[in-house]
Chain A
């Protein structure tokens, strides 16, 4: 390749990368400077005030372990939202994997009548917008008493998550040879041992991707939580949205940083697994 062209090429990649991280830079500047007046590019002083106001970090002078514990014991909103988000995420992830696993195995290994129809029904929530079903569902949930409950929110999170978990695991099982299991059984392994020693290791990588993905979708869910939670279940995305709408950049940035932390962590550890062929990837577009 022409050397000059190659250089232009590489510099435009660097420029693109710089533009892409601009928002992240802005998040950190905003979160650690309380008065960042225009047209300063770099704030005059660092400040933890946003974190103090969110009751995540104690006031200066009491920043000891005890100070932190005392502060957090008052159960500030952010901590409450964080715990809610984590709990809902874990519950939904585990439930979706347990429900999807047998279905994915059947869909991946067998051919049967109506299989195409079932897959079509199963994947349609991936393409149709959530607003199409959640408005109607909301009214149903109110009359059933699920509205505003932890249970209702978990249930509605299953809708966007289930299709991807089923698809990802189906893909794994489609490339899985069940003869290994029969071999293990003929060698004397019982059903439980066969699952534990043969099936699980074979599907584990796919299961990890599916689980991380399920967690992230639940973690990022705004509209469904807002409607079904009916203001009683506060999660991090709801907090980000309301803080952003009220317009305090420092507080918004601080909550956002907590909010994006698992996303970056997950990308960091899964960049190996996440490729265009994995059906979970197509789900990332919807977070």
Chain B
């Protein structure tokens, strides 16, 4: 058994070391710096000033709280809509019809597409002189670009939400297709023979069956959209600003004192995501225990 133990330790150590040193090390170093310990500019004291400044100071508080609100709004709405749209798409597409393979491919197309490109694509389609505006102009529904609503770089985060829906609905779609495929249609056929109509089959059979997968995929998507940088950096506005962009800009600020605030903000983002995931696991664990 001694040999086994050595083998296990030797095999596990390299990847674990990479994660611990780079990932946890990075977080730890960020945490330390967020507490004001910055030897580079001669600060060795530990305090919570950066956190206090972000949460309560006149200078940053408004920026932070509106940013947090925008973050929650964007993540909730885009996660929910992407999940719902993907569910309907998956339910519609699993039946055989002409062009099924092609449609399947197109619906999965955004899965490997980088977020950055999706964001650029949203600009091309939804900006005031974008493809959609041109189509409406051709149909004489609008006459000038100004008639088209501001959907990109708008203060409600519509462009960001659109980009996440585009990208993450493909992710939900793939997951749902595989869940539906492994479930087969027997449960629905059974429910139908027991007298359930179309709506009842959706409400009492399909929805509860796909809910666990849909829920855990939602957590992944929510956590990602809450902490990602690229999409809001390209499609967002300066105020209100999503937290990851804000953290990054604090960090790049030539005033090195703002660096602590940037670090604090990134720690706050991580904390919120972590709390969310813990709540999720707590919910699923209690559900499993009830079973």
Contacts and interface: CB of A to CB of B under 8 A. Distances in A.
A–B interface present (Cβ within 8 A): yes
A256 B92 contact: no
Query: Chain A interface secondary structure, helix, strand, loop or mixed?
Result: helix
B178 A132 contact: no
Given A110-B4, A129-B226, A135-B262, A158 B22 contact: yes
Contact of B130 (A26, A107, A260): A26
Instruction: Describe B's contact surface by its main secondary structure.
Output: helix
B110 A266 contact: no
Nearest to B7: A106
Nearest to A106: B11
B106 A17 contact: yes
B114 interface: yes
B76 interface: no
B131 A13 contact: no
Contact of A276 (B28, B31, B179): B179
A220 to B, nearest CB: 4
Interface string A249-287: 100110010011001101110010011110001101111
Contacts of B111: 267, 274, 281, 284
Given A23-B118, A287-B113, A122 B223 contact: no
Contact of B220 (A131, A237, A282): A282
A256 B122 CA distance: 13
A257 to B, nearest CB: 9
Interface of A: 9-10, 12-14, 16-17, 20-27, 29-30, 38-41, 99-100, 102-103, 105-107, 110, 112, 118, 121-122, 124-137, 139-140, 155-156, 158-159, 162-163, 166, 216, 219-220, 222-223, 237, 240-241, 244-245, 249, 252-253, 256, 259-260, 263-264, 266-268, 271, 274-277, 281-282, 284-287
Interface of B: 4-5, 7-8, 10-12, 14-16, 18-20, 22-33, 40, 85, 89, 92-93, 95, 97-99, 102-125, 129-135, 137-138, 145, 166-168, 171, 174-179, 181-182, 213, 217, 219-221, 223-224, 226-230, 233-234, 244, 247-248, 251, 262-263, 266-267, 269-270, 273-274, 277
